[in-house]
Structure 1
Amino acid sequence: MTRPGLVATLLSAFALAAASASAQTSPDPDEGSRCVSDKVELSPTRYLRALSLDLRGDVPTAEELAEVAQRGEVPQSLIDEWLDTDAFAEQVVRHHRGLLWNNIDNLRLLNVNATLSRTPEGLHWRRNPARFYRGANVPCADRPARLGPDGEILTDRDGLEGYVEVAPYWDPTTSLKVCAFDAQEAEFSPEGTDCRTNAGDNDTGCGCGPELRYCTFGNVDLAINRGMRDALDRLLFDLFRRDAPYTELFTTRKAFINGPLAYFWTYLTRRNRGLLFEPKAVDMATVPEMHYYQEGTWVEVTLPPEHAGILTRPAFLLRFQTNRARANRFYDAFLCQPFNPPDGGLPVADEAAARDPDLQLRAGCKYCHSLLEPAAAHWGRWTEQGIGYLDPATFPPQRADCERCGLTGQGCSTECRQFYLVRSLSPQEDAFIGMLNAYKFRREDHVR
């Protein structure tokens, strides 16, 4: 029998302490000044039931109840046996779901232009790109497509093409009628547009790619959301089942990938909907070749060092999309230090104090943000509204091109606009022009 790990010890100690406390009769010196529930001494069998529900999520068996009734106590050996089970690991995973909130089913990860619609006749087409294909938001004609001598798609006098039969990546056993323009397989259009990106939605030479791999249909893409959630659950289960040190939660590079995730990392990261999936959170050399429909098949991989630990995994970064939200959740869930105003409320501030752009100093804000701002900066190298890591080689603390465009107002690149301070809204911000957003209002005492 293995030694219980830290989490097992904590949870079992909690359950034991709760039962022990209920049996004590010595008065609490502060009991008269607090609302304390009446203490009820549990019988051995009731204590067994409470332990079993806490540690396994199920009631004890008849045999276990009989043994405890005969002994008159719950044997430590039985508790140790329960702690060394899949059921206990599942219970701890459930507890951590309440800490991490890693269910991201509410997020729409992919661009709406990547979504195929279906007509009553069974034609699959994309609404917004139809304006470029056919001059109007209409599907193709319900007839097989005709091709010219060079393979070009032919249209009728109304500018409508026909359909082609395609076996989609999410279910290759079926065949869909897909409008020919939408079913184009080119990786690059004749104009040079990369059809794997959102730019392809505005180019008539781009479609959904082979097997429709750059598009989705209905709720098919929710398997990606589930994969990110379940990958974190699977990692937690692995750590707790192995009785690994609790600190591995924040240091391990181990991860799990299933079919939808492998497909997402390979083909869909640039079909994003306002979220940044690149730089990718995985080393593509380690991503296995899997089919999208292999949702129940999992492969262990090793992530890059910058994505070690649960606090930089996709499910966490997407569930908490700003650095402040990430820091706030960590302090609340793992340090038990929620950010609350002082007792008695906030003092009334004068207008000048209320307008200070530095939230660490602004009246009414500083009680939380004096700690929250430097804490949030720990996530400063991971994109907000995204999951990518900003490598210092490409994204140094200060970039000359971003400083130049911030001072002149001309030629700001997308990288500068997204990740660097290029627009000052107050004189206090001027000194930080051209610096990574996370460095704004950083003080010397924040540097270690």
Structure 2
Amino acid sequence: MRFARRFLAPLATAVLLASLPALAEEPVCAPVSKVPLERHLRQLTLDLLGRPPTYEEYQAARAKGEVTAEDVRALMGKDEFYARVRGYHRALLWSNVSASVYNNANSRLSGAGSATDALSLRGNSSRPLRGANGQGCDSFMAQDVCTARQDTHVDPALPATADACAKERYDERGVPQPVSWDYDTNFYTCDRLDLSLPAGTSVKTCQEALTAKRLEDKDYYFCDMRRINIGTTSAPNLALVPHLCKPRTTTLTAVVDAADNNRVVAFTDASSRLDRCGLKLSQKRTNGLEIKGSYEPQRGCVQREGYVTRPAPFWSAGSPDVRVCAIEAQAREANPWTLEPCTTARFNGDRSCGCGEGMRRCEAPNGSTHTARIEAISEEPELLAESVVRRDEPYFNILTTRRSFLNGPLSELYRDPQQAVGVLSVTAPAAPEVLPNLPFAQADTWQEYVRDSEHSGVLTTPAFLYRFPTQRARVNHFYSAFLCKAFTPPDNARLPSAEDACNRENNLAKRCGCNYCHATIEPTGAHWGRYAERAALFLQPEQFPRYDPKCRDCALSGNTTCGGECGQYVMQAYDGDGANSLGLLKTYLYRTADEEKNIESGPALLVQRMLQTGDLERCTVRRVWQEFLGRPMSAEEQRLYLQPLADDFARDGHRFKALIERVVMSDAYRRID
């Protein structure tokens, strides 16, 4: 609205002047008309506070007869102004990372933790754990209590003692085993046997179905007691009902066991086989050998473990105990058989791992834990910027300060490296004893702390690192947001012919055509060289040295994964430099000695260098001008205002509020145009 108002007046003036005869004498510019007091106040409160003035504020301004610098400072002392500051920096930093962090939800739990709906992983994770997607455990059978069978007609007899129960329900190293099973309806069609019965006939078990001749004895092993809702949606009644399950693939031929009353024990054809289901798990095979402890469900079967009772998960600590599926309730750091780690994203496909202590490796059923983390990561740089402005510190502290803030979700994420494993890769910004200890539920409580020495304002927050996932993207946004510069080739740029060997140069800072921009981008990007790409990991020199001989040896032997330890290192050679750089931390590839100093000094050095050029001040003036006048500076305004405002900004100690004050008290802000 204000943008349109300011441009209508000059347009009308131009039309009027065009209709008048040419003047004989040199025209004299009339004084600039300024907006009335009330309109000036309205503009100020809308721009500074995001709302129109109150009646009392109008009255006070009329009584004074003008809006003074003291009035502007008073407005900038209100909380509404600091909310406005947060919004300004949210837009400047693009700090919303909700679309920048991929979450496949494989670690997200389902269920209510109730007596009929235990907490469990039911997405893609449930296939390697239980045999099919969308499958939880048996919420009606306790893992540690052997008093019932779901399929009593075919499962072994109940254990007679507690020791025998423990041996059945857990393997010798404590890994939970199935307590019940169902035929997988992706492979089988299962029809109820208790429907359309003659009057007075009841079929509640497979034995009764056999007696009522709803089931043939040969199909006995494929009679499946399945738990279904025989009530209504509003009044559910989950009960075990007998079903006859037959393969969906009609070409499969029944395999009978003559020694077992000629009952069907499998279905097969030339390429596949479906065996009768039971409580025994299969073992994975490698090179024809079974891998002990590497369990996988039987093909065509859903094999469920039971539930256990545990304290409430970390996201609702202090609440009543909940029912958790026995697999998810485990808290191991590694598979006790294979010693593969449970502290990586593989945990949700390994039957022996579980969600960890307090369910820390898993997410809440409604996704609220992930949402809370993403919102906290996105809000952190806004609060950091607000704190600098609120304290009237030099504005560019937002790019260099080690101070920051965290709430409950960030506190737990930083203090517990197993939280959000496989979703977020974040290095704790300080030692655990330095970090405020807040429970996850305190998402609205923010506490200040000081980060480790490698940090540099908003430029090393997880929000910035995730939102701009590569070194080049980080450089590009720094230049755009804080230097008002874009990477574009010069007008006279020319590409070489396709046959030119320069096109095959892997170093973009030297490749013809690319070097127009990358000669600046590459050395500048080195300032983020100790921060992993597509993550918020700081590559500590102690853990990630410039050169790792182990990685080089793996690369030379053709082992480019090297046990997963060399993902940050050069493991393949694409040119001569790459061949000489095997085992080198990737960020050091093609670097000069000066660029290596950029890597070790981090983004703080880049800010220090840019402060010597005056570009940071001029860009900030341009952005504040556009924010409060609703348009960029014209060429004439740049001549009149840009450098003087930048000089005043520097003399004022780079105080952001002082710059805003000068802009909104300027004639340009108050003009009727």
**Which range, TM-score by smaller chain?**
0.7 to 0.9
Contact 1:280 1:387 in 2 (8 A): no
Report the Cα distance in structure 1 between the residues aligned to 2:549 and 2:483, rounded to whole angstroms: 38
Q: Is the 8 A contact 2:140 2:306 kept in 1?
A: yes
SS of structure 1 residue aligned to 2:324: strand
1:273 aligns with 2:422: yes
* Greater mean alpha carbon deviation, residues 68-77 or residues 382-391: 68-77
Is the CA contact 1:144–1:164 (under 8 Å) kept in the aligned structure 2?
no
- The equivalent position to 1:141 in structure 2, one of 132, 138, 142, is 138
| Match for residue 305 of structure 1 among 443, 450, 453 | 453
1:1-80 matches, within 5 Å, as: 41-80=34-73
* Residue in structure 2 matching 1:171, options 316, 341, 356: 316
C-alpha distance in 2, partners of 1:185/1:176? 16
Q: Is it true that 1:366 corresponds to 2:515 in the alignment?
A: yes
Deviation at 1:133, TM superposition (A): 3.6
Selected match of 2:531 from 372, 379, 382: 382
How do residues 67-106 of structure 1 correspond to structure 2 at under 5 angstroms? 67-106=60-99
**Could you tell me which residue of structure 1 aligns to residue 362 of structure 2?**
215
- Which stretches in structure 1 are left out of the alignment for 5+ residues? 1-18, 28-38
Displacement, 1:288? 3.4
Residues 414 and 100 of structure 1: is their aligned pair in 2 closer, same or farther, counting only changes over 3 Å? farther
| Partners of 1:344 and 1:52 in 2: CA distance | 47
Q: Secondary structure at the match of 2:422?
A: coil
Indicate how the Cα distance of structure 1 residues 295 and 189 shifts in structure 2: closer, same or farther if over 3 A, else same. same
1:334 shift after superposition: 0.5
Q: Quick one: which amino acid aligns to residue 46 of structure 1?
A: R
Partner of 1:125: 120
Q: Measure, in 1, the Cα distance between the counterparts of 2:596 and 2:329.
A: 53
Q: 1:389 to 1:226 in 2, by over 3 A?
A: same
**Offset at 1:269?**
4.2
Higher Cα radius of gyration: 2
Partner residue of 1:323 out of 471, 488, 502: 471
**Cα drift, residue 383 of structure 1:** 0.9
Q: Secondary structure at the match of 1:300?
A: strand
**1:399 matched to 2:548:** yes
Q: Is the 8 A contact 1:181 1:207 kept in 2?
A: yes
Change (3 A) 1:415 1:243: farther
Closer/same/farther in 2, CA of residues 414 and 238 from structure 1, 3 Å limit: farther
Alignment check: 8 A CA contact 2:412 2:419 kept:
no
Cα distance per residue 1:154-179 (max 9 Å; x no partner) = 62344422223442322243654432
Tell me the amino acid that sits aligned with residue 431 of structure 2: D
Structure with the bigger percentage of strand: 2
Name the amino acid aligned to 1:250: L
Shift of 1:326: 0.7
- Which letter maps to 1:440? L
What is the Cα deviation at residue 204 of structure 1?
2.0
Question: C-alpha distance in 1, partners of 2:495/2:62?
Answer: 60
Give the equivalent residue in structure 1 for 2:345. 198
Deviation at 1:188, TM superposition (A): 4.6
Equivalent residues of 2:343, 2:421 under 8 A apart: no
Specify the SS of the correspondent of 2:540: coil
Deviation, structure 1 residue 366: 1.6
Tell me the CA shift for residue 215 of structure 1. Answer: 0.6
- The answer as to whether partners of 2:344 and 2:422 remain within 8 angstroms in 1 is no
Residue 272 of structure 1 and its aligned partner are, at CA, apart by 3.1
CA distance in structure 2 between the partners assigned to 1:446 and 1:434 by the alignment:
19
Report the alpha carbon displacement of residue 347 of structure 1 after superposing the two structures with TM.
4.0
1: CA distance between counterparts of 2:544 and 2:581?
Answer: 15
Q: CA, structure 1 residues 187+269, in 2 after alignment: closer, same or farther (shift >3 Å)?
A: closer
* Secondary structure, counterpart of 1:145 in structure 2: coil
Are 1:214 and 1:268, in contact at CA under 8 Å, matched by a contact in 2? no
Identity, % of aligned positions: 34
TM-score by length of 2: 0.56
Q: In the TM superposition, what whole-angstrom CA distance separates every residue of 1:33-92 from its partner, at most 9, and x where no partner exists?
A: xxxxxx874222212221222222222222332343454432121012122332222222
Which residue does the alignment assign to 1:354?
503
Could you tell me how far 1:377 is from its partner in structure 2? 0.9
SS at match of 1:307: coil
User: Is the contact between residue 193 and residue 200 of structure 1 (CA under 8 Å) also seen in structure 2?
Assistant: no
SS in 1 for 2:416: helix
- How many residue pairs get matched? 413
Aligned Cα root-mean-square deviation (Å): 3.1
Contact 2:328 2:353 in 1 (8 A): yes
Amino acid in structure 2 at the alignment position of 1:140: C
**SS of the residue aligned with 2:567?**
helix
1:425 CA drift (Å) = 1.3
Letter of the 2:110 partner, please give it. Answer: S
Does the residue aligned with 1:112 lie in a helix, a strand or coil? coil
Deviates more, 1:245-254 or 1:282-291: 282-291
Match of 1:161 among 297, 305, 308: 305
Distance 1:347 1:130, change over 3 A: closer
More divergent stretch after superposition (423-432 vs 247-256)? 423-432
Alpha-carbon spacing, 1:369–1:314, altered in 2? closer, same or farther (3 Å):
same
* Separation (CA, whole Å) in 1 of partners of 2:362 and 2:373: 13
